[in-house]
């Protein structure tokens, strides 16, 4: 019998199971987009069939980092920008656990940018949700990597001289095998995309547009969003890399001006996940490594038997 | 005739100096001798002056020794590229010119006359005569070129060494057969034999100028480095996950682990930076897997952040810090013990960690095993601090030292059955950070287990794991985490991490830590032979600091010299901080020029400064008087 009986348990899951019994009231501001992420995640997890106890949510720091205080699963609230490396190893150590990483735009595209690029490159099997509100919220409204050029804040009083980062293009170029954008004001689409992301075998990056009613009132977070997967105007095939690239370029140019496109931009279901690649070259055990530490019958190899001869 | 051979093979990086010396050392060990190697190399891939010393004696050897008595100047220190006449650098005679100062009187010089021209070295002939050196000029390059490839001149050099010192070729041949593929084995064997015969034809070596002593081991020995020992200790404790980023000299442990873990069903990850590396180890450990990471000074600087996360979330974590000379990137391939304060105090807040400092190869294995036990038993980051010297030095250790049972116990981690019975689930939830246990350890669960759901956070949190800024909870949590260190201190008391050497009623003391242990002990033996009554204490446990034991040692002597490889006397500072006394009794002998101490430097430093209150003769080492002087 597995040491982890919560894994793979097949039963009806109520979304309220993810709500902590003793409710720490969310400290997000009224009207914050983060409520939308929480809601759609609570909706998507049961649909994927994942119980709270087989789910590990790894977050960074900031308003987004509080997500795992309000979503009652196994949780690891790490440090600014470091959710991905912690999550990657967790998944490698026990691939049977559903691993979701989450963080903000400063957290994920700024301080954690290097990890983002490499996690996408390696195509780790996990879902990465970036709460993108184009602002540093919890530190009280500084310019973030996704703030538009010219954005004024206390730390950029003359307006930012930097063009914003292009998360979708960056993700695709780096090697993510699933790239999507959704918005907190579109709960149905968000839930659908999160479900698809979790079911995807590989690195699924979801850029989640969230509004910050306190520090970023000017951001166009409430504009109508067009779903590229459902709009007849686009007739879009997300498995076509070139088309995805073109559309990403377009929407990332226009995000601060006109129409905002959301939906699944790209998916490559053929590319093996990193875990699979590692298994193929013989660098990853077939059974979850974590299981072995709970197996009293496992015979641990020792260095004396394996290596001592070459030192004699 | 000397009772020991210290053979120095010198040349350029890429000349096969390391592999040749390793085989040579192993052959001497197999013949019954005690061996110890010292490696000196520049931070470049090809070319540049490099040497390895192999010391061999019938008696146990603990250090590189003083100077050396056999020089094999193998090639020049050029780097070549395949184009004819394309050279880099200007180091034609370095293997010969750079190594003469420390060659003992009556020593042997073998140089490759195909590459080296001693007429370019000022006063070479005079120095040879003055020091009674025995010079053998051999055209090793041509010899190797004629019978195989030029690069095989290292094998020719070994053949010459064997002929001069009286080592039978069979011992080396056996090793070459084990190590080399058939195709290159034959020419190598021929080259070695030809070189061997040539010496006997051209020189009268019936009475060797420098000979190899004979010895016998009581039990089977293995040749190992500190890095081997740390890796094997980790494997024996069930560590099956490593994440790292290459940096000298940490790379050695990382490489050994990476090459072996897949076969053992483990996982190795080379990642984008050291922050990620430590964070990955935390992620794997959080899942219930035994995991490690590590780096050297500059890379470890990046780990301060995840280190604090491991402390606050009480995630077991083992980190290795292989010191090299700093600040910044410093001298990448040179040893120093100057990261002590860096490792002790890095990371913000009142942080708790364990720091072990092995002094020998055998201790490196023990420290590695102990680090995992402590990290997982107490859910606390445990670090092993060692240096470039211990990481690369090879010495013989009884094979039986490693013949021990594996231990994959992950400490206070509950099973699902235990979780179901836990009193920690008062309100239906698992209270991961409950305030219980005298030692401050709260049992943990891992993701995927039924009934064990909890939040680990780097923020201060309540027993259930929720972020909390409640003052009473803060104090209770902090006190509990601090309590672990008291328990660990008691736990470590019986571990023999303090090694005393010399007469217990000695007048004077020497205090040291880490890789200087063996050198200090040799110096102590010599000082006592010369009539100075002195003993040494090597401290292998730096946090928690064993203050009682160190205090007892200092109280038992009149004065103590603290020996360490750094410029700011960090270990002495730590000792004074922890003890709060003895400042007027502690003087320092420091060395930070990139080379580890030789025993004679400690003997000299001790004699002139502590016993005679005089000045040091050279500028290799520096004396800092006691604060009360």
DSSP state of B369: H
Edge-to-edge strand order for the sheet containing B534-539?
B498-501, B534-539, B508-513, B559-564, B586-591, B621-624
- Give the chain A residue nearest B411 (alpha carbons): A293
Query: B427 pLDDT band (50/70/90 cuts)?
Result: low
- The answer on pLDDT for B615 being more than 80 is no
Q: Do B119 and B135 meet the contact criterion of CB atoms below 8 Å apart?
A: no
- pLDDT at site B556: 98
- Of B241, B454, B457, Cβ closest to residue A93: B241
- Give the chain B residue nearest A299 (alpha carbons): B406
- Of A72, A96, A311, Cβ closest to residue B453: A72
* A interface test, pick of B266, B279, B396, B473 with most A CB neighbours within 10 Å: B279
| The pair of three-digit structure tokens given for residue B614, joined into one six-digit string | 């005089």
Q: What are the DSSP E strand ranges found in chain A?
A: 55-59, 74-77, 98-104, 126-132, 135-136, 142-143, 178-183, 203-209, 225-227, 260-267
- What is the DSSP track for A31-99? T-THHHHHHHHHHHHHHHT--GGGEEEEE-SSGGGGHHHHS-SEEEE--TT-HHHHHHHHHHH-TTSEE
- pLDDT at site B344: 97
Q: How far is CA B28 from CA B25, B154, B223, B344, in A?
A: 5, 17, 10, 39
Instruction: Over range B101-113, report the average pLDDT.
Output: 95
Q: How far is CA B497 from CA A241, B130, B242, B581, in A?
A: 60, 46, 26, 22
Dist. CA B16–CA B37, nearest whole Å:
15
- pLDDT at site A34: 95
Dist. CA B456–CA A87, nearest whole Å:
13
Q: Which of A101, A102, A183, A111 is nearest to A144 (CA)?
A: A111
Q: Which of A39, A68, A33 is nearest to A215 (CA)?
A: A33
Q: Which of B393, B269, B381 is nearest to B320 (CA)?
A: B381
Mode of pairing for the β-strands spanning B559-564 and B508-513: parallel
| The pair of three-digit structure tokens given for residue A23, joined into one six-digit string | 């409710």
Instruction: Over range B144-167, report the average pLDDT.
Output: 92
Quick check: pTM over 0.90?
Answer: yes
- pLDDT at site B619: 75
Q: Which residues of B touch A69 (CB under 8 A)?
A: 455, 466-467
Q: What is the dihedral of CA B288, B252, B81, B594, to 10 degrees?
A: 140
- The answer on pLDDT for B103 being more than 80 is yes
Dist. CA B492–CA A95, nearest whole Å:
36
- The answer on pLDDT for B80 being more than 80 is no
Q: Do B180 and B155 meet the contact criterion of CB atoms below 8 Å apart?
A: no
Instruction: Over range B458-480, report the average pLDDT.
Output: 95
- pLDDT at site A23: 65
Average pLDDT, chain B: 92
Q: Do B253 and B224 meet the contact criterion of CB atoms below 8 Å apart?
A: no
User: Is B171 strand, coil or helix?
Assistant: helix
- pLDDT at site B1: 40
Q: Which of A263, A260, A120 is nearest to A193 (CA)?
A: A263
CB contact under 8 A, A88 and B456: no
Q: Which residues of B touch A114 (CB under 8 A)?
A: 272-273, 276
**In this predicted model, what pLDDT tens digit does every residue of B30-50 receive, in sequence order?**
999 999 999 998 887 777 788
CA distance B393 to chain A (A): 14
CB contact under 8 A, A301 and B264: yes
- Give the chain A residue nearest B30 (alpha carbons): A312
CA distance B253 to chain A (A): 14
Element (H, E) at B107: strand B103-112
Residues of chain A with pLDDT under 50: none
| The pair of three-digit structure tokens given for residue B546, joined into one six-digit string | 């064993």
- The answer on pLDDT for B57 being more than 80 is yes
Q: What is the ipTM of this complex?
A: 0.98
DSSP state of B610: I
Q: Which residues of A touch B231 (CB under 8 A)?
A: 303
**In this predicted model, what pLDDT tens digit does every residue of A173-220 receive, in sequence order?**
999 999 999 999 999 999 999 999 999 999 999 999 999 999 988 766
- The answer on pLDDT for B4 being more than 70 is yes
Element (H, E) at B148: none
Query: B353 pLDDT band (50/70/90 cuts)?
Result: very high
CB contact under 8 A, A82 and B306: yes
- pLDDT at site A219: 65
- pLDDT at site A255: 83
What's the number of CA atoms in the CB half-sphere (13 Å) around residue B610?
A: 27
The neighbouring-strand residues paired with A208 are A131, A182
Contacts of B174 (CB under 8 A, 6+ apart): B27, B30
Dist. CA A221–CA A218, nearest whole Å:
8
Q: Do B467 and B459 meet the contact criterion of CB atoms below 8 Å apart?
A: yes
Q: Which residues of B touch A52 (CB under 8 A)?
A: 453
Query: B616 pLDDT band (50/70/90 cuts)?
Result: low
Q: Which residues of A touch B455 (CB under 8 A)?
A: 68-69, 74-77
Letter string b/e over residues A259-274, b meaning 16 or more CB atoms within 10 A of that residue's CB:
ebbbbbbbbbeebebb
Phi and psi, residue A86, nearest 5°: -65, -45
Query: B95 pLDDT band (50/70/90 cuts)?
Result: confident
- The answer on pLDDT for B629 being more than 80 is no
Q: Please tell me whether the peptide bond between B559 and the residue prior to it is cis, using omega within 30 degrees of 0.
A: no
Count residue pairs from A and B with Cβ separation < 8 A.
Answer: 225
CA distance B79 to chain A (A): 31
Instruction: Over range B429-457, report the average pLDDT.
Output: 92
Q: Which residues of A touch B313 (CB under 8 A)?
A: 76
User: Is A255 strand, coil or helix?
Assistant: coil
**In this predicted model, what pLDDT tens digit does every residue of B480-506 receive, in sequence order?**
999 999 999 999 988 889 999 999 999
CB contact under 8 A, B267 and A284: yes
CB contact under 8 A, B282 and A292: no
What's the number of CA atoms in the CB half-sphere (13 Å) around residue B253?
A: 39
Instruction: Over range B242-246, report the average pLDDT.
Output: 98
Dist. CA B432–CA B448, nearest whole Å:
15
Q: Which of B407, B390, B237 is nearest to B321 (CA)?
A: B390
CB proximity A138 to B under 8 Å: no
**In this predicted model, what pLDDT tens digit does every residue of B200-221 receive, in sequence order?**
999 988 778 888 889 999 999 9
CB contact under 8 A, A292 and B236: no
CA distance A151 to chain B (A): 30
Mode of pairing for the β-strands spanning B354-356 and B541-543: antiparallel
Within 84-113 of A, beta carbons closer than 8 Å to B belong to 84-90, 92-94, 96-97
């Amino acid at each position: 019998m597995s040491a982890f009986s919560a894994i793979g348990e097949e039963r009806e899951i109520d979304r309220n199971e993810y709500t902590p019994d003793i409710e720490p009231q969310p400290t997000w501001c009224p009207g914050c987009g983060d409520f939308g992420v929480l809601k759609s995640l609570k909706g998507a997890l049961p649909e994927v069939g994942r119980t709270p106890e087989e789910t590990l949510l790894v977050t960074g720091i900031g308003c987004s980092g509080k997500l795992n205080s309000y979503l009652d699963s196994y949780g690891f609230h790490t440090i600014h920008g470091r959710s991905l490396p912690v999550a990657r190893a967790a998944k490698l150590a026990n691939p049977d656990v559903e691993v979701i990483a989450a963080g903000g735009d400063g957290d994920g595209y700024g301080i954690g940018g290097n990890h983002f690029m490499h996690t996408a490159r390696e195509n780790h099997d996990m879902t990465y949700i970036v709460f993108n509100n184009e602002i540093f919220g919890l530190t009280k409204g500084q310019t973030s990597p996704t703030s538009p050029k010219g954005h004024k804040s206390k730390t950029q009083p003359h307006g930012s001289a930097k063009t914003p980062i292009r998360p979708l293009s960056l993700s695709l170029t780096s090697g993510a095998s699933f790239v999507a954008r959704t918005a907190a004001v579109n709960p149905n689409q968000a839930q659908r995309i999160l479900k698809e992301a979790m079911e995807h075998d590989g690195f699924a990056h979801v850029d989640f547009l969230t509004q910050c009613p306190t520090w970023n009132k000017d951001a166009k977070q409430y504009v109508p969003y067009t779903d590229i997967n459902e709009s007849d105007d686009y007739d879009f095939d997300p498995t076509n890399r070139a088309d995805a690239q073109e559309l990403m370029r377009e929407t990332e140019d226009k995000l601060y001006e006109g129409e905002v496109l959301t939906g699944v931009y790209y998916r490559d279901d053929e590319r093996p996940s990193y875990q699979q690649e590692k298994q193929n070259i013989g660098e990853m055990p077939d059974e979850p490594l974590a299981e072995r530490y709970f197996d009293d019958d496992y015979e641990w190899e020792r260095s004396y038997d394996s290596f001592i001869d070459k030192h004699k | 005739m000397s009772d020991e051979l210290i053979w120095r093979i010198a040349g350029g990086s890429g000349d096969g100096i390391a592999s040749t010396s390793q085989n040579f050392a192993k052959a001497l060990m197999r013949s019954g001798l005690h061996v110890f190697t010292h490696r000196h190399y520049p931070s470049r891939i090809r070319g540049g002056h490099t040497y390895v010393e192999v010391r061999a004696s019938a008696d146990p050897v603990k250090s590189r020794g003083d100077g050396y008595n056999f020089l094999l100047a193998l090639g020049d220190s050029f780097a070549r590229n395949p184009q004819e006449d394309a050279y880099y650098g200007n180091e034609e005679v370095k293997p010969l010119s750079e190594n003469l100062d420390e060659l003992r009187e009556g020593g042997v010089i073998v140089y490759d006359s195909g590459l080296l021209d001693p007429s370019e070295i000022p006063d070479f002939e005079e120095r040879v005569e003055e020091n009674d050196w025995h010079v053998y000029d051999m055209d090793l390059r041509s010899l190797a070129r004629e019978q195989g490839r030029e690069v095989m001149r290292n094998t020719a050099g070994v053949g010459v060494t064997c002929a001069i010192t009286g080592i039978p070729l069979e011992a080396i041949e056996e090793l070459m057969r084990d190590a080399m593929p058939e195709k290159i084995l034959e020419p190598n064997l021929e080259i070695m034999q030809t070189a061997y015969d040539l010496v006997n034809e051209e020189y009268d070596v019936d009475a060797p100028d420098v000979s190899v002593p004979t010895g016998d081991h009581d039990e089977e020995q293995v040749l190992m480095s500190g890095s081997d020992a740390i890796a094997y200790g980790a494997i024996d404790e069930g560590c099956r996950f490593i994440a790292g980023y290459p940096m000298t000299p940490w790379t050695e442990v990382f490489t050994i682990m990476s090459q072996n873990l897949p076969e053992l069903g483990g996982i190795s990850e080379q990642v984008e930076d050291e922050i990620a590396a430590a964070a990955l180890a935390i992620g794997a450990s959080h899942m219930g897997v035994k995991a490690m990471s590590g780096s050297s000074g500059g890379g470890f600087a990046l780990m301060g952040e995840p280190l604090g996360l491991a402390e606050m979330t009480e995630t077991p974590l083992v980190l290795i810090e292989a010191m090299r000379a700093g600040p910044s990137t410093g001298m990448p391939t040179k040893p120093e013990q100057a990261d002590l304060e860096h490792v002790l105090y890095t990371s913000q807040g009142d942080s708790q960690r364990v720091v072990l400092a092995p002094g020998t190869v055998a201790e490196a294995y023990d420290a590695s095993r102990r680090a995992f036990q402590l990290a997982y038993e107490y859910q606390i980051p445990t670090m092993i601090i060692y240096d470039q010297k211990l990481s690369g030095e090879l010495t013989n250790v009884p094979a039986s030292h490693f013949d021990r049972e594996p231990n994959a116990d992950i400490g206070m981690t509950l099973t699902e059955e235990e979780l179901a019975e836990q009193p920690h689930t008062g309100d239906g939830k698992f209270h991961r950070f409950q305030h219980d246990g005298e030692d401050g350890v709260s049992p943990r669960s891992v993701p995927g287990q039924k009934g064990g759901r909890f939040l680990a956070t780097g923020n201060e949190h309540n027993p259930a794991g929720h972020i909390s800024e409640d003052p009473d909870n803060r104090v209770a949590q902090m006190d509990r985490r601090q309590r672990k260190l008291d328990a660990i201190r008691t736990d470590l008391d019986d571990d023999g991490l303090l090694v005393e050497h010399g007469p217990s009623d000695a007048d004077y003391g020497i205090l040291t830590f880490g890789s200087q242990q063996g050198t200090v002990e040799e110096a102590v033996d010599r000082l006592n032979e010369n009539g100075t009554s002195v003993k040494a204490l090597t401290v292998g446990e730096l946090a928690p600091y064993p203050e009682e034991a160190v205090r007892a040692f200092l109280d038992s002597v009149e004065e103590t010299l603290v020996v360490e490889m750094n410029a700011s006397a960090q270990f002495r500072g730590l000792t004074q901080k922890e003890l709060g006394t003895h400042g007027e009794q502690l003087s320092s002998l420091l060395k930070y020029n990139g080379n580890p101490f030789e025993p004679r430097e400690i003997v000299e430093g001790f004699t002139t400064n502590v016993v005679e209150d005089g000045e040091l003769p050279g500028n290799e080492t520096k004396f800092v008087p006691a604060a009360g002087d």
